[in-house]
Chains A and B, each alone.
Chain A
Amino acid sequence: MDGMNRRAFLQATGGVAALAAASASAAALPTLTAIPSATGVPVLFDARFPAARAHAEKLAGLRQSLDPLPGDATELMQSFANGRGPRRMIGVTAESVPFCLTELAPRDRRPHLTLKRLDQDLFAWHLVHTS
């Protein structure tokens, strides 16, 4: 769903059938209620894990697009942490991603992190700059 939002994806792939399939798959996943949704903020996912995409789709619902995490996310991380990029990020990745995003920010301006472990490797997370 790279570069394509979820609504467009559903329209392009058969709508109701695809939605039903995605819902059935998502129903088996752990709840993500700890992670807020945010319209207009893409949900990053780690494309190495099929489960990351499934979790990200569930998290994105119909309002948010999905973006695969780049293999080298250094610039993305820096722009967020330095406050030059988005104010808010949501993702389903291994833990080093939200850890780095938090650690990169100045110690007196750390973003607020909500983190939920989904399985051995994956974490759903929401980061927002509050200052």
Chain B
Amino acid sequence: MNKWNRFKAVPIPKQPPQVRIYNFNEVALGYSEEQALMEAERCLQCANPQCVLGCPVEIDIPTFIRLIKEGKFREAIVKIKEKNNLPAICGRVCPQEDQCQKYCVLSKRGDPVQIGRLERFLADWEREHNVEIPEKKPSTGKCVAVVGSGPAGLTVAGDLAKLGHEVVIFEALHEPGGVLMYGIPEFRLPKSIVQAEIEYIKRLGVTIKTNILVGRLYTVQELLSDEGFDAVFIGTGAGPPIFMGIPGENLCGIYSANEFLIRVNLMRSYLFPRWDTPIKVGDRVAVIGAGNVAMDASRCALRLGAKEVHIVYRRSRTEMPARKEEIENAEEEGIIFDFLTLPVAYHGDESGWVKKMECIRMQLTEPDETGRRRPVPIEGSNFMMDIDTVIVAIGRRPNPLIQQTTPGLRVAEDGTIIVDENMQTSIKGVYAGGDIVTGEATVISAMGAGKKAAKSIHKYLMGNK
């Protein structure tokens, strides 16, 4: 073990790259108790902690870290759960480097305190040592319907149940969890952990009904008028994948990242044929885009046996929107990055399978007024890449069904639902939050929205008693 140094983070043990590319097990293995204590020791217990300002749900970070130092793991996790119902998830997938850890005073001199890893440590410790269910307020007799079981929906449901309301979550897919279940791969967020966190929400008294597509089976209006709910929360997230609209994009072998990841994660096609849903990955794979979704897709493709996986991105390294940690993981695993490259067409064989990807080289303009450098094509620089599989990961639109089937619901031009400062939509008693309101964002911001909506819904329900 390396020497303790206030300015150096305790490294997290990981599966070595040459091993992990052959399995779907978690990459980062988590701190041991000893490592957690060492890392907690680095925290200065600031009187005016900046880290808390960076956390969208305002976890009392110094206090939970102090409790770790004192070996009071149970108290520490209870402290976190006052604000965050899903710590095992946030500790793993929060972009901590842009949030809590970015503001930690230590980051001025060295590594910030690894708040996310400590949060994860506690959540994992608790799962192994029996999860305690907090006391619930007496029943209020009010019923809330939550549409969508992603982080926004789970959070709003958990908080409202604790306050004594009856809560039913309606989820269209066969497993609850939203992106946590169908999008983020096993090796970054094990499904058993998501399931355990969902189990906790259920134990708070929340009912989850899967296989129900709201907008088709019931409309939002019907939930209020016929099904007896007093309020509705819409947390339907992002869905429809964006394609580039270039020639050949519907050839076989071209997936949206959503399709690819749903097959791999939700349908476990990496276990095909033991599980029934197939997936096909050739030797040479191109992933278009450079966000978290692209990193996840590229690393899945590698684990499914691809020999060469390229991230094809029209800007340069510095503009990549993915988390730094995930870019590093991808690089360690041997993903190849093709920067300043834009696909313009796909060419297939006689049976309709993609074989070649035609690209054009890009260059970045001088920064404009906003400081952004735009990528522009270099005339005549077209070239061909041999390719068997393409995964398009350039973004997703908000799920549109509720907007289309709820008259009177105000919707922005980009399809997101408009809410006021209390997360209420243009319809009384109907609230919304998460990606369906903000467009694609983060797990923790969706949870933050869920927290806020729970407070407003509680106020609304108790006010009109």
Is chain B a partner of chain A in the same complex? no
User: Which residues from chain A sit less than 8 Å from chain B, CB to CB?
Assistant: none
